[in-house]
Chains A and B, each alone.
Chain A
Amino acid sequence: MANMALLEIRHLHVSVEGKEILKGVDLGVGEGEVHVLFGPNGSGKTTLLKTIMGLPRYRVTLGDIIFKSRSIKELPPDERARLGIALAFQNPPPLPVKLRDVAARVAQKFRSDMRLLDELNLNGLMPRPLHKGFSGGESKRAELALSLLQKPSLLMLDEPDSGVDVDSLKLVAKAVNSLIDSGVSVLLVTHTGHITRLLSKVSLAHVIMDGAIVFDGDVEEVLRMLEEFGYSAFRRR
């Protein structure tokens, strides 16, 4: 890897409610790099992101997560967020708090400017309880907005292109691109790959199957294989 690793996943095993989901994942994301992780449903994509974020249901049984040269395996999610990791959830829970109030609190915490959100077309959503009755596209935009306010050095996006209208996808891609251009590292998870062609760059693509990464390579190559053969092309050997 050319750049110094910002995030290093070392032989990670993760269990959720006693069931092993990740079975030895190795992955490195360098500074300013954009990684796209492909995988079929249930392969462990979301589990990997939530484990990196430190959500309590995701138990690391083996291996380590190194971020900015230190193990973060034992840290609670808020400390990981403050170290510079942000996750835009795929299915965030509805909250009894207005988007505006959550955004203001996050902005205060990270000393960021609410104007960061101007381009995401959120005005109509601001007075609504976060994610309550939001459409797919609205949820993705709100998730990206809150992630932006965290001024992350690593932005993780969980299926930003699933269940999204074309306009929202373009808005999301544009905002992600401006982060990429400013040097933020990105780890993006996708099932379909729809968003990848809208990104200004992709450093490396990975395919995860049944809890382990089975392929690393060029994103165009992965897309081509998926279009031709589907995920069976990457079946774990």
Chain B
Amino acid sequence: MGEFSYRPSRTLATYMRVNENQVRLLVHEHLKKLGIVVMEIGEALKKLPIAREHAWRLIAPSHDEYVERASEKEVGAFIYVPPGVRPRLPLQTCFFVSRENVEQAVHNVVIIGDGAEIVLNTACAAAAGESLHVGVTEIYVGEGAKLTYAMVHGWTQLFDTHPRTVVKVCEGGTLVMNYINLRPVRTLEAMPRVMLEENSSAYLSTILLALGDSHLDVGTVVEFAGRGAKAEVISRTVARDRSHTIMRGLLRALAPGVKGHLECVGLQLSPGAKIEAIPALDALVGDVELTHEAAVGKIAEEELDYLMARGLNEQEAVSLIVRGFVETGIEHLPLTVRKQVRVILDTLAEKAVM
């Protein structure tokens, strides 16, 4: 678990779920004073009207079999940040599977009040064996609010995972999402959906390390529902061994005056690693600006030769190029998260050549 040095030295609250039922909740005293709520979703649905008003509004339990499983269990985290609250410290959630034959199906609801600003870090990991993780997450970013959401996944080669994330960003809100997959996984299938209302903006980056026999099918859908909405969606995949990665992306303009850019770039480190890049643009109204860029290739020999002439051996040269390749969007992250993400990307670049 060495690579999960992904704990901020201090957090406002940590919600940790191990396997199906063990939950640990560490809450900083300061959190209550701010009116922030972090609790088990089942409890929140019983006690809090606001939880009931928001749960299952962005995605229906009947969406697919995985969402249905999560809806039957109704376990997971409920997070509420009141309007205008801007704590300096992040919130953290962690989903861990420690043994085989676990079906961890969770439902999370996150509500960021108008004008609030918060950093949410999520780590999902497995230590052993054949198991399943389903994470259904509904996120509301209020008017003029900002959510920075950093996620790291580290599964095992026998693990299947199907996250379902839907985010609604209200007028003038900002969403920064940074997703990193670090370890082999049997299947990772995720297509987070982001709905942008008037003048809201999103910066979404996905960084995948595809190792072993991993099958990754990952993409992002952004729906521009309000005038003036903006989004930049960047996906980078570093693929090795016999992995198969599908990088998808869809920008759908439903309102005029919106602007979006989608980028899917893959780097193949082994000849047997397959990458498919499938960016798509749907302009359903006029007066929009949607662009995309896709590229898949291996490291140019000239670049390796150059770095070797600078004294690095081949492995070190590849690792340095990978590190540069995945260094994307860091500037969009707040300083508190930037350092941790850098450490994770350093680890990724090391693992890419191990």
Q: List chain A positions with a Cβ less than 8 A from chain B.
A: 53-57, 76-78, 80-82, 87, 89, 92-93, 95-98, 101-102, 105-106, 109-110, 129, 146, 150
Assess whether B312 is interfacial by the CB under 8 Å rule. yes
What residues of chain B lie closer than 8 Å to A95, measured between beta carbons? 303, 306-307, 321, 324
Please tell me if the beta carbons of A101 and B311 are within 8 angstroms of each other in the complex. Answer: no
Please provide the 3 A-B residue pairs with the shortest distance between their CB atoms, ordered closest to farther.
Answer: A97-B324, A81-B311, A96-B324
Contact, CB under 8 Å: B323 / A55: no
B316 contacts partner chain A, Cβ-Cβ < 8 Å: yes
Q: A96: which of B305, B312, B316, B321 is its contact (CB, 8 Å)?
A: B321
Contact indicator A97/B321 (Cβ below 8 Å): yes
B310 adjacent to chain A (CB < 8 Å)? yes
Number of interface residues of B (CB under 8 A): 21
Q: Tell me if B's interface is mostly helix, strand, loop or mixed.
A: helix
User: Of all chain B residues, which has the CB nearest A82?
Assistant: B311
Write the residues of chain B forming the contact surface with A, with a CB cutoff of 8 angstroms. 300-303, 305-314, 316, 320-321, 323-325, 327
Q: Give the CA-CA distance A53 to B309 in the complex, in Å.
A: 7
Q: A78-B308, A95-B321 given; name 5 further pairs at CB < 8 Å.
A: A54-B309, A101-B324, A102-B320, A109-B316, A150-B310
Once the chains bind, are A109 and B320 in contact (CB under 8 Å)? no
CB < 8 Å neighbour of B313 from A53, A55, A78, A96: A78
Contact yes or no, A98 B324, CB < 8 A: yes
Q: Does the CB pair A87–B311 fall under 8 Å? A: no
Give the total number of A-B pairs whose CB atoms are below 8 A apart.
69
CA distance A110 to B312 in the complex (A): 10
Q: Given A78-B311, A106-B311, A92 and B306 touching (CB < 8 A)?
A: yes
Does the CB pair A81–B309 fall under 8 Å?
yes
Instruction: Determine the residue in chain A with the shortest Cβ distance to B309.
Output: A77
CA distance A93 to B303 in the complex (A): 6
A80 to B306 alpha-carbon distance, docked (Å): 13
Give the contacting residue for A102; candidates B310, B325, B327; CB below 8 A: B310
Given A55-B305, A77-B305, A93-B300, does the pair A106, B324 have CB atoms closer than 8 Å? no
Complex partner residue of A101 from B308, B309, B323, CB under 8 angstroms:
B323
Given A93-B300, A105-B316, A105-B320, does the pair A98, B309 have CB atoms closer than 8 Å?
no
Task: Kindly list chain B residues whose C-beta atoms are within 8 Å of the C-beta of A55.
Answer: 305, 309
Question: Which residues on the A side are within 8 Å of B313 (C-beta)?
Answer: 76, 78
Shortest C-beta distance, A218 to chain B (Å), equals: 31
**In whole angstroms, what is the CA distance A77 to B312 when docked?**
9
A-B contact pairs, 10 of them (CB 8 A): A89-B309, A93-B300, A93-B302, A95-B306, A97-B323, A97-B324, A102-B307, A102-B310, A106-B310, A109-B311
Across-interface contacts of B325 in A (CB, < 8 A): 96
Instruction: Please indicate the chain B residues that have their CB under 8 angstroms from the CB of A78 in the complex.
Output: 308-309, 311-314
Residue of chain A at shortest CB distance from B306: A93
Please measure, in the bound complex, the distance between the C-alpha atom of A57 and the C-alpha atom of B306, giving whole angstroms. 12
A residues near B321, Cβ cutoff 8 Å: 95-97
| Residues on the B chain within 8 Å of A105, using CB | 312, 316, 320
Contact B308 A76 (CB under 8 A): yes
Contact of A129 with B320 in the complex, beta carbons under 8 Å: no
Residue of A nearest to B312 (CB): A78
Q: CA separation between A110 and B307, bound complex, in Å? A: 14
Complex contacts, A80 vs chain B, CB 8 Å: 309
From known contacts A56-B305, A92-B306, A93-B302, infer whether A98 and B327 are also in contact, taking CB-CB under 8 Å: yes
